[in-house]
């Protein structure tokens, strides 16, 4: 391989890893919710869209730096998730399995169509001067916003891990995930924990939306593209497996980026989907998970 | 392992009989429609087509209980096959009769059945939400192929060419299209009625209620689900061909996207997926709602779907038909 080819390879790899980091962030929220409640949140992409539109609205209204929107989007996402779990999903009771699919689909439609009413269907973006800047390591170019997104992803996932493994709340969450009845008997208020977890999951989707906003256009149904990525990531890593979601995200990012560069850019989305289907069919416990009982 | 609950398998005969009459009444209403509302045929055609889609979906989604979120792909196969083969040059000369457009519909059905067979064979080992996820992925792959291939017209899609007039019928005439859509709905309705009373229908319901229990009774769940999927696919593709006639021009974006798949599934679920007429009623009710709210919400017409599906999931798990039945049985006991 000559120098140009090597640089191109590393360029593709870095691009893939950074995009994959964002996928990991989206997938972590989904996987967390699945891990505790055993439901797949079909509105996850729409929560991401909410994060993007909060950023857009604040930028338009106050010229607020997109990354400062995190201070609004993260808590707002948490609150929204908490309320939805408390007042919608918790009411499904023993119909949670089938009911959550429909309820979250319905919530997703409500969110995307409300955004459509509020902001119109036109794709919109924000213009921050540093968004077009790039870093250069050797020959490899990386856009500043993608780098910030990557750092944000690492920070958010580390913070979640600190909460899960170093705090009393984290113990309660892990207990609820493992055995809700047992946790309840030990005095854990599992209804509250589930609402907190759903809030955290939504909050992660919203954070991902904020980090994506300087990089992309947004439109009300933008979540659709990302919700499939989130599904792929979580299935690759094993549903409910948080470190798996991170690795799954990186793998998906690299597969897409490499496939787009070396095979065909037109089928960029197909590589992930095909890997997804293969993993779903051959190893439903995920690429990296140890064999767990089938759900 | 729990036994199949007797309430779902042994329905009082009178109720089943009433079910047939409900279908007859609905068909009669649809029959009268063009004579009364001749000016709003577009609304009628799209409502009928979506009713047919929802009932076709329901053979797999309701009777077999497998929530597919990828059925738009099968509809798309029908639409593409019809449009591509409506061009006489693409057919061998002996088939270029006035029946030409319908060969395409037939080919579409065959392809859809084949796709469903492979698709189901691959994915039926997955349960619940996992199955739904896999259908999204398969449908997205089919969509990507349509967008990136030349013969499908790529992202621009296809135009329906000038069509021959079988028996002097202009297939672009809205009246003709209404009766075609009407025939599609009646066909789907008759087939679902037929299934309901057949061995296959009982087997499918047993599989839906309890797969292990069904297996213990000697039913092969995988085979039953596959049969349901193939039948559902054939009807979806037929409906897709009619949809292509109605649209005259379409692109992958309108005919293969996830929201269309979701919309079809939700029509059936909101109407009542465990009943025969539920999907039909769901489509009628939601079309009327959609029309009423169109001025209010303009393009955000799926908002009403979102609100309704949430309400139905929370308060009426058996859909609109479930509400009717509950009201009916309350009346029955009061008397």
Q: Is the model more confident about B15 or about A177?
A: A177
Instruction: Return the pLDDT at A268.
Output: 86
**What is the arithmetic mean of pLDDT over A96-123?**
90
Q: For residue B138, is it within any domain?
A: yes
Q: Using a CB-CB distance cutoff of 8 angstroms, which residues of chain B are in contact with residue A113?
A: 297, 300-303, 306
Q: For residue B329, is it within any domain?
A: no
- In this complex, is the C-beta atom of B314 within 8 Å of any C-beta atom belonging to chain A? yes
Instruction: Return the pLDDT at B143.
Output: 92
Q: Quick check: B250 pLDDT over 50? A: yes
Instruction: Return the pLDDT at B260.
Output: 92
How many domains is chain A built from?
A: 1
Instruction: Return the pLDDT at A164.
Output: 92
Q: How far is CA B141 from CA A269, B67, B196, B219, in A?
A: 8, 18, 33, 32
- CA A285/CA A289 separation, integer angstroms: 6
CA distance A7 to chain B (A): 29
**What is the arithmetic mean of pLDDT over A16-38?**
91
**What is the arithmetic mean of pLDDT over B170-187?**
90
Does the predicted model carry a pTM greater than 0.95?
A: no
Instruction: Return the pLDDT at B332.
Output: 64
Q: For residue A230, is it within any domain?
A: no
Whose tokens are 């469903």? That residue is B116
Instruction: Return the pLDDT at B333.
Output: 61
Q: For residue B199, is it within any domain?
A: yes
The answer to whether residues B75 and B207 touch, using CB atoms and an 8 Å cutoff, is no
Instruction: Return the pLDDT at B269.
Output: 92
Instruction: Return the pLDDT at B91.
Output: 73
Instruction: Return the pLDDT at A1.
Output: 60
**What is the arithmetic mean of pLDDT over A108-132?**
88
Give per-residue pLDDT as tens, A261-287.
999 888 888 898 988 888 888 877 777
Q: For residue A2, is it within any domain?
A: no
**What is the arithmetic mean of pLDDT over B225-245?**
95
Q: Give the pLDDT band of residue B244 (cuts 50, 70, 90).
A: very high
Q: Quick check: A290 pLDDT over 80? A: no
Q: For residue A291, is it within any domain?
A: no
Which of residues 93 through 122 in chain B touch A, CB cutoff 8 A? Answer: 122
**What is the arithmetic mean of pLDDT over B276-288?**
91
Contact B140 A99 (CB under 8 A): no
Q: For residue B103, is it within any domain?
A: yes
Give per-residue pLDDT as tens, B106-146.
999 999 999 999 999 988 888 778 888 899 999 999 999 99
Give the range of the structural domain holding residue A144, as residue numbers without chain letter. 22-222
- Interface test with chain A among B121, B130, B262, by most A beta carbons within 10 Å: B130
- In this complex, is the C-beta atom of B303 within 8 Å of any C-beta atom belonging to chain A? yes
Nearest chain A residue to B147 by CA: give it. Answer: A266
Nearest chain B residue to A93 by CA: give it. Answer: B314
Q: Give the pLDDT band of residue B264 (cuts 50, 70, 90).
A: very high
Give the range of the structural domain holding residue B201, as residue numbers without chain letter. 40-256
| Residue B256 neighbours by CB distance under 10 Å | 28
Nearest chain A residue to B306 by CA: give it. Answer: A106
**What is the arithmetic mean of pLDDT over A137-150?**
85
Contact A228 B141 (CB under 8 A): no
- In this complex, is the C-beta atom of B139 within 8 Å of any C-beta atom belonging to chain A? no
Residues 6+ apart with CB under 8 A from A119: A53, A56, A57, A220
For chain A, the three-class secondary structure string (H helix, E strand, C coil) is CCHHHHHHHHHHHHHHHHHHHHHHHHHHHHHHHHHHHCCCCCCHHHHHHHHHHHHHHHHHHHCCCHHHHHHHHHHHHHHHHHHHHHHCHHHHHHHHHHHHHHHHHHHHHHHHHHHHHHHCCCCECCCCHHHHCEEEECCEEEEHHHHHHHHHHHHHHHHHHHHHHHCHHHHHHHHHHHCHHHHHHCCCCHHHHHHHHHHHHHHHHHHHHHHHHHHCCECCCCHHHHHHHHHHHHHHHCCCCHHHHHHHHHHHHHHHHHHHHHCCHHHHHHHHHHHHHHHHHHCCCCCCCCCCCCC
Q: For residue A234, is it within any domain?
A: no
The answer to whether residues A105 and B259 touch, using CB atoms and an 8 Å cutoff, is no
Q: For residue A217, is it within any domain?
A: yes
Query: Rounded to 5 degrees, what angle do the CA atoms B256, B257, B262 make?
Result: 110
Q: Quick check: A216 pLDDT over 50? A: yes
ipTM of the complex: 0.85
Contact A228 B137 (CB under 8 A): yes
Q: For residue A184, is it within any domain?
A: yes
Q: Using a CB-CB distance cutoff of 8 angstroms, which residues of chain B are in contact with residue A228?
A: 136-137, 140
How many domains is chain B built from?
A: 1
Q: Which residues pair with A142 in a beta bridge?
A: A135
- In this complex, is the C-beta atom of B155 within 8 Å of any C-beta atom belonging to chain A? no
Give per-residue pLDDT as tens, A38-87.
888 999 999 999 999 999 999 999 989 999 999 999 999 999 999 999 99
């Amino acid at each position: 391989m000559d120098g140009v080819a090597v640089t191109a390879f590393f360029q593709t790899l870095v691009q893939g890893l950074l995009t994959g980091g964002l996928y990991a962030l989206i997938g972590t929220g989904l996987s967390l919710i699945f891990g505790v409640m055993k439901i797949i949140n079909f509105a996850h992409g729409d929560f991401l869209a909410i994060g993007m539109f909060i950023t857009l609205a604040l930028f338009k209204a106050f010229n607020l730096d997109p990354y400062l929107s995190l201070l609004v989007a993260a808590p707002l996402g948490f609150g929204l998730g908490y309320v939805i779990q408390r007042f919608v999903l918790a009411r499904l009771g023993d119909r949670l399995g089938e009911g959550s699919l429909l309820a979250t689909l319905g919530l997703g439609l409500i969110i995307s169509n409300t955004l459509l009413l509020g902001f119109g269907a036109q794709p919109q973006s924000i213009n921050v001067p540093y968004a077009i800047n790039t870093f250069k390591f050797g020959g490899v170019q990386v856009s500043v916003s993608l780098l910030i997104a990557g750092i944000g992803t690492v920070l958010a996932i580390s913070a979640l891990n600190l909460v899960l493994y170093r705090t009393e709340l984290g113990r309660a969450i892990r207990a609820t995930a493992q055995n809700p009845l047992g946790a309840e008997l030990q005095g854990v208020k599992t209804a509250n924990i589930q609402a907190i977890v759903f809030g955290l999951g939504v909050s992660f989707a919203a954070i991902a939306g904020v980090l994506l906003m300087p990089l992309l256009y947004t439109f009300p149904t933008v979540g659709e593209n990302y919700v499939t990525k989130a599904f792929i990531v979580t299935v690759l890593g094993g549903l409910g497996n948080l470190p798996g979601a991170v690795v799954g995200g990186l793998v998906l990012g690299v597969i897409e980026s490499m496939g787009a560069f070396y095979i065909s850019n037109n089928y960029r989305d197909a590589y992930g989907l095909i890997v997804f289907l293969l993993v779903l069919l051959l190893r439903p416990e995920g690429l990296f998970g140890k064999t767990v009982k089938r759900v | 392992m729990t036994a199949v609950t007797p309430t779902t398998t042994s329905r009082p005969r009178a109720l089943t009989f009433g079910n047939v009459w409900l279908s007859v009444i609905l068909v009669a209403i649809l029959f009268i429609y063009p004579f009364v509302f001749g000016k709003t045929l577009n609304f009628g055609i799209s409502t009928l087509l979506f009713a047919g889609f929802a009932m076709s979906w329901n053979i797999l989604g309701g009777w077999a209980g497998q929530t597919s979120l990828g059925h738009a792909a099968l509809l798309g196969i029908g639409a593409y096959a019809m449009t591509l083969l409506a061009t006489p040059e693409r057919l061998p000369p002996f088939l270029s009769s006035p029946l030409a457009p319908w060969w395409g519909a037939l080919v579409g059905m065959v392809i859809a059945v084949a796709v469903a067979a492979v698709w189901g064979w691959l994915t039926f080992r997955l349960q619940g939400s996992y199955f739904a996820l896999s259908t999204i992925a398969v449908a997205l792959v089919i969509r990507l192929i349509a967008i990136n291939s030349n013969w499908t017209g790529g992202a621009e899609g296809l135009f329906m060419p000038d069509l021959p007039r079988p028996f002097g019928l202009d297939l672009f005439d809205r009246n003709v299209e209404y009766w075609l859509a009407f025939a599609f709905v009646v066909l789907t309705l008759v087939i679902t009625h037929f299934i309901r009373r057949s061995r296959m229908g009982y087997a499918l319901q047993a599989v839906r209620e309890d797969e292990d229990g069904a297996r213990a009774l000697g039913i092969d769940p995988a085979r039953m689900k596959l049969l349901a999927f193939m039948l559902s696919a054939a009807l979806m593709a037929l409906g897709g061909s009619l949809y292509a006639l109605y649209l005259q021009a379409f692109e992958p974006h309108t005919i293969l996207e996830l929201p269309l798949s979701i919309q079809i599934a939700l029509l059936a679920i909101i109407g009542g997926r465990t009943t025969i007429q539920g999907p039909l009623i769901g489509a009628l009710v939601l079309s009327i709602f959609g029309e009423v709210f169109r001025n209010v919400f303009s393009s955000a017409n799926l908002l009403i779907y979102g609100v309704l599906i949430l309400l139905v999931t929370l308060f009426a798990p058996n859909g609109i038909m479930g509400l009717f039945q509950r009201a009916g049985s309350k009346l029955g006991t009061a008397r």
